[in-house]
Copies of this chain bind each other. A is one copy, B any other.
Amino acid sequence: MVSDRGVRRRRANGEESRRRILDAAVEIAGERGYEGTSIKLVSARCGLPASSIYWHFKDKDELIAAVIERSFGSWLGAMVLPDADDVADPAARERQRVRGLAAQVARSLLESPDFLRLGLMLALERRPEQPTARTVFLRVRQEARERVSAAITELAPELGPEQVELLSLYALAAADGLFIAYQIGGEEVDLLGLFELHAHALIDAVARLRGRPEV
């Protein structure tokens, strides 16, 4: 006999099943949000019966939270402020690094946009009982923001902490908006161009704030 796959009872392998469930869930939740993600749909997409999903995750809430945890975490790990050693002028070099990061973010969002779409949908909801996934998203997002703040401080050490906070919030928030614009407009939207514009905007903003003492 060749194999079992696809038809008969496959041998129990918790680790792999969990991964398959998460793979299915991230797609569906990224497309339809929290409510739109039915366990049956996930079950159909991953090939395991609905009741098996409950072996791996306590309930839907925990499943979606795990989706966010895994995908946002791994995404964040991939983002790094790049170097630009080949550029002589320091100001130009920093500009180059910021534009590099912006391009990096833009490209990663073009590749795997599911988790951010899900995260933003969760962030927008205002139910009486917020899903755990929302909290998880906000937490991981906060990490991202701290990284951006650190990068800004590195680039412009003379800025006050409140200015840095405002700038990092603006950087992330506007990026979310650009992403949404791309979600809406599809291929017609020049996401790389928008992020390029945004990188310039940030650099100009840093320069402008540098010139005046914090309020």
Q: Which of the residues B36, B126, B170 comes within 8 Å of A198, measured between beta carbons? A: B170
A positions within 8 Å CB-CB of B: 30-36, 117, 120-121, 123-127, 138, 141, 166-167, 169-170, 172-178, 180-181, 183-185, 189-190, 193-194, 197-198, 200-201, 204-205, 208
In the complex, which residues of chain B have a beta carbon less than 8 angstroms from the beta carbon of A125? 31-33, 36, 121
Tallying the copies of this chain within the complex gives 4
Give complex CA distance A120, B124 in Å. 8
Q: Is the interface of A mostly helix, strand, loop or mixed?
A: helix
The residues of B that contact A120 with a CB separation of less than 8 Å are 120, 124, 180
The distance in angstroms between the C-alpha atoms of A78 and B183, with both chains bound, is: 27
B residues less than 8 Å from A169 (CB atoms): 181, 185, 189, 194
Whether the pair B205, A197 counts as a contact (CB closer than 8 A) is yes
Closest Cβ–Cβ distance, residue A34 to chain B (whole Å)? 8
* A40 smallest CB distance to B (angstroms): 11
Cross-chain contact of A166 among B30, B127, B166, B197 (Cβ < 8 A):
B197
A126-B30, A178-B174, A201-B204 known; A184 vs B138 contact (CB < 8 Å): yes
Q: Give Cα distance in the complex from A31 to B35, angstroms.
A: 12
Considering the chains assembled together, what is the distance between the CA atoms of A166 and B190 in angstroms? 8
